[in-house]
Structure 1
Amino acid sequence: MSDMPGSKAQYANPQKERRGASRMLHATRYSLLGLRAAWGETAFRQEVLAALVLVPAAFWLGRSWVEVALLAGSVVLLMIVELLNTGIEAAIDRIGPEWHALSGRAKDMGSAAVLLSLLLCMGIWGAAIYQRIVHG
């Protein structure tokens, strides 16, 4: 077997050998499994429940497609960052339960990313609500 890019010997993960529709089908399945796993996280469940209210509300509050996209997109972005943070935490926890400064730092940075995305979301929604109240 060759070590050239694309050769079977190159991949430790046999899923990397999939191509075309098979790869897309398997990637979709793994993504759905990831969402199912994330549902076990309280923060993600709370964000999904908020999204069920906020995304439809974005269509009422937004006055143009750009505003709707910003409002709905900020909610989806928060969920994306939460998923990435959860992935970081899972990877760190897999390494071992003992405390390590770098592990703590990685988890803290993931948490900070969630905080920043939450503040961004709140800022966008706050500005939109303010505009609606003040300028009718």
Structure 2
Amino acid sequence: MTQQKPQRKTGFAHLIAATGYSVAGLRRMWQESAFRQEVIGGAAVLLLLLALGGSAGQIGLMTVLLLALLAIEALNTAIEAIVDHLSPDWSVFAKQAKDIASAAVFLMILANGVCLSVILLDLALAAA
């Protein structure tokens, strides 16, 4: 039995509905251990930068990169859910899709690490 597609909302009702969908997505993401680890690690990084006297620009840049990491983690999870639905058994296409999505997360983690390293080096040189 299929469900009827809900009627499309417009205007302010669309904004309210979209916010609800986003909150539901964040609730779903919180079930993922990688997402929780990234949130906690990101909070620790931002607190470290605050404690070390990072500038507003440094903290802002790190915040944007951390949010981008969380967004890519969400896309990775969405891809995994779709692939698992389309290919419940093991398949080459499913493995490749999941591996590529995982690589995107890995690359974003590297970008965060590079940025954090540069900021920490800058703070160390400024303190010397």
| TM-score for the superposition, normalised by structure 1 | 0.81
Within a 5 Å distance, the mapping from 1:92-131 to structure 2 comes to: 92-131=83-122
1:40 aligns with 2:31: yes
Select 2:58's aligned residue among 67, 76, 87: 67
Aligned-CA RMSD value: 1.8
CA shift, 1:73, in A, is: 1.1
C-alpha distance in structure 2 between counterparts of 1:114 and 1:36, whole Å: 19
Equivalent residues of 1:81, 1:113 under 8 A apart? yes
| TM-score for the superposition, normalised by structure 2 | 0.86
Query: Equivalent residue for 1:14?
Result: 6
Name structure 1 gaps, 5 residues minimum: 1-11
Q: Which moved more, 1:26-35 or 1:91-100?
A: 91-100
Tell me: CA distance 1:57–1:76, structure 2 relative to 1, closer, same or farther (3 Å). Answer: farther
Count of matched residue pairs? 123
CA shift, 1:44, in A, is: 0.3
C-alpha distance in structure 2 between counterparts of 1:74 and 1:38, whole Å: 18
CA shift, 1:107, in A, is: 0.5
CA shift, 1:106, in A, is: 0.9
Q: Which has the higher contact order (CA 8 A, sep 6+)?
A: 2
CA shift, 1:62, in A, is: 3.1
CA shift, 1:97, in A, is: 1.6
Identity %: 33
CA shift, 1:57, in A, is: 4.0
C-alpha distance in structure 1 between counterparts of 2:46 and 2:125, whole Å: 22
